[in-house]
């Protein structure tokens, strides 16, 4: 009896110690040594055909709090088990135009829980094109990639990769579907636009390489997308089949150089686009994703890429329209073309069964299957997931949202602001006092029309303009701030123009950002666009007709906006709707920061790439304020 009691006491004392020694992921430089390679090879040989096919698929996990008995959680858990899923793409729920971002702890806890559910360690990936803040609150906020092109400093891109890796790994995400290697050479491109670093292949390549260096230092896998280039298109491949019309010479000089630079820089994966490229694949029923000529011959053989080849999401209309009668074949054809990982199938069951049938029939050889599965297992081993696949929740508040990182995100947004036009009569605006303090719920501020702000967005219910409004009101408390969208613009025209006529200064921030699958009805079908809708475009034109000289237009996204409104006399580009960009552009309006950004793209009939009016911050001259400016290009 005494022996039993003693044994119980020993176990009781050791249990906390054992728990304290729980092995957690230790993010660090990605590498594949012999030990890790042996794990991948040994694991591969233990897997059945069913398990191997499952490792090829990546499905969604939209992070939120889920009870362990929640039906949605149980469905996801069962899919991981039933289909032997190898990886998941982390996002958040979406409700119409609203992205329902969540908190870091909720994400980290759920990803940990799913890791425990899986037989093999899972890779979690995400679209962190603007950092982890795209999906989660409390993280470092960065402007859109085109802002990095405007700031023109590769070290910013390297910091961007490093900080994103640090925060992503802290919540259990290992792989970023970034950087975007597309060269945005088409102003009408509705889906790339500010997601690209710019229109110059050399600059895009340099920023790609810098980002990859930073991400690797933080232990995060990277992805160059969308091969062989989605920048010179005018169709959103989420809605239809986009076409790249350049000949081989154009592809070799514009589209492909950034991908070559990324491959030289050690990019871990390349994502293939659902675009038709007649110069490379003459079959109109094959997009790049399902084309052996594009994936195997060009990417793997000619460019020598040895890493993971990933499809763009298989549920996009650019692909599904071609396989409506047999949706599972999309996965098979993509794999046969040379892709290794099959991303977000439209119908998981049909895609899995089609792949398994192709393996069993010999259409897909066992050697070809093993080749891709081994790559995926090697990626897991290179991250150290074979040793430890959980993350330490106690470290989340130490790694997320560090003040130094937040400050750097703001500095990058500041340096990106670009002054394209200035009539010399309006800017910088004068600060008109500070907001009055008062008791909660009892502060009433009189609104006047000296400063009128008309905020244009797709939907007034979104966050667009909220930070900008707060920052303007902190400098001009009586500013009249009006929100308009396509549904209400026509009805507000008279009141807006009446305020504009009375104003000393008019600020017109325009929020146009590339949005996947944004459907605009036309006479024939639907399309996507980053141009202002007819009603809001008409209102902006009328504002300019009434008051162009005292109006400054702010491009809070699409910088090409000015080509449709040549009457603009004062034009600033922030390239981004991120809150850091909203703060930056307000500081620029009031002369609080130097304006030093340069256009990374050309705006037809307005300005060439490299253009930018530089301006020093306000300096005191005998009690008055003045600013110094110069026009330059680079």
Alpha helices in 83-153 (DSSP H): 104-117, 145-151
| Catalytic annotation, pick one of 206, 312, 340, 458 | 312
Instruction: List the one residue out of 347, 333, 322, 339 whose CA is nearest residue 240.
Output: 322
Instruction: List the one residue out of 134, 139, 579, 101 whose CA is nearest residue 401.
Output: 139
| Catalytic annotation, pick one of 84, 238, 389, 598 | 238
Residues in the chain: 634
CA distance 459 to 463: 9
Instruction: List the one residue out of 318, 121, 89 whose CA is nearest residue 223.
Output: 89
238 tagged catalytic: yes
591: left (phi over 0), alpha (psi -120 to 50) or beta: left
Longest dimension (CA), the chain: 96
CA distance 152 to 149: 5
SS3 20: helix
Q: In this structure, are residues 343 and 334 in contact, taking their beta carbons and an 8 Å threshold?
A: no
| Sequence-distant (≥ 6) Cβ neighbours of residue 203 within 8 angstroms | 149, 152, 197, 600
DSSP conformation class of 430:
P
SS3 165: helix
The torsion of the CA quartet 237, 243, 244, 245, rounded to 10 degrees, works out to: -160
CA distance 488 to 476: 26
312 tagged catalytic: yes
SS3 543: helix
Residue entry with tokens 């920061």: 593
SS3 50: helix
* Catalytic (active-site) positions: 238, 312
């Amino acid at each position: 009896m005494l022996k039993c009691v003693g044994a119980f006491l020993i176990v009781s004392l050791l249990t906390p110690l054992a728990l304290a020694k729980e092995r957690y992921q230790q993010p660090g430089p990605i590498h594949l040594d012999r030990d890790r390679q042996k794990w991948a090879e040994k694991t591969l040989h233990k897997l059945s055909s069913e398990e191997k096919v499952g490792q090829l698929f990546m499905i969604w996990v939209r992070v939120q709090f889920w009870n362990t008995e929640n039906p949605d959680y149980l469905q996801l858990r069962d899919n991981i088990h039933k289909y032997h899923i190898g990886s998941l793409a982390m996002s958040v729920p979406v409700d119409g135009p609203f992205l329902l971002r969540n908190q870091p702890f909720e994400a980290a806890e759920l990803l940990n829980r799913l890791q425990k559910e899986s037989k093999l360690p899972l890779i979690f990936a995400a679209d962190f094109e603007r950092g982890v803040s795209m999906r989660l609150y409390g993280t470092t906020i960065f402007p859109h990639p085109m802002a990095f092109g405007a700031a023109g400093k590769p070290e910013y891109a390297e910091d961007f990769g490093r900080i994103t890796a640090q925060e992503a790994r802290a919540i259990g995400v290992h792989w970023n579907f970034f950087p975007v290697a597309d060269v945005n050479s088409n102003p009408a491109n509705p889906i790339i636009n500010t997601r690209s670093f710019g229109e110059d292949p050399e600059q895009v390549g340099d920023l790609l390489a810098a980002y990859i260096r930073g991400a690797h230092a933080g232990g995060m896998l990277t992805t160059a997308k969308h091969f062989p280039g989605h920048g010179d298109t005018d169709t959103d491949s989420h809605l239809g089949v986009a076409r790249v019309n350049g000949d081989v010479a154009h592809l070799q000089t514009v589209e492909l150089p950034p991908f070559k630079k990324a491959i030289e820089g050690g990019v871990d994966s390349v994502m293939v686009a659902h675009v038709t490229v007649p110069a490379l694949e003459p079959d109109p029923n094959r997009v790049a994703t399902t084309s052996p000529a594009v994936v195997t011959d060009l990417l793997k053989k000619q460019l020598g890429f040895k890493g993971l080849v990933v499809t763009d999401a298989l549920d996009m209309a650019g692909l599904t329209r071609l396989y409506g009668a047999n949706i599972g074949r999309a996965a098979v054809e993509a794999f046969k073309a040379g892709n290794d990982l099959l991303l977000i199938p439209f119908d998981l069951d049909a895609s899995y069964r089609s792949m398994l049938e192709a393996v069993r029939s010999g259409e897909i050889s066992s050697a070809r299957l093993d080749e891709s599965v081994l790559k995926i297992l090697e990626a897991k081993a290179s991250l150290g997931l074979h040793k430890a696949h959980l993350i330490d929740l106690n470290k989340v508040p130490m790694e997320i949202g560090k003040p130094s990182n937040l400050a750097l995100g703001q500095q990058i947004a500041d340096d990106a602001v670009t002054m394209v036009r200035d009539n010399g009569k309006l800017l910088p605006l004068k600060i008109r006092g500070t907001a009055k303090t008062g008791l909660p719920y009892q502060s009433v501020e009189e609104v006047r029309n000296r400063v009128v702000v008309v905020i244009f967005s797709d939907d007034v219910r979104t966050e667009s303009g909220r930070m900008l409004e707060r920052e303007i009101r902190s400098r001009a408390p009586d500013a009249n701030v009006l929100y308009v969208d396509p549904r209400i613009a026509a009805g507000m025209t008279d009141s807006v123009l009446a305020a504009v006529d009375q104003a000393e200064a008019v600020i017109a921030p325009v929020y146009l950002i590339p949005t996947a699958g944004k459907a605009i009805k036309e006479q024939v079908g639907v399309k996507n666009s980053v141009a202002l809708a007819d009603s809001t475009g008409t209102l902006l034109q009328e504002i300019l007709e009434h008051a162009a000289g005292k109006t400054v237009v702010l491009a809070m996204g699409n910088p090409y906006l000015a080509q449709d409104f040549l009457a603009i006399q004062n034009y600033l580009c922030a390239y981004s709707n991120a809150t850091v960009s909203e703060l930056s552009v307000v500081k620029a309006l009031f002369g609080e920061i130097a304006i030093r950004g340069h256009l990374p793209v050309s705006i037809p009939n307005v300005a060439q790439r490299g253009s930018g009016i530089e301006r020093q911050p306000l300096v005191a001259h005998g009690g008055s304020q003045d600013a110094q400016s110069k026009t330059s290009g680079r």
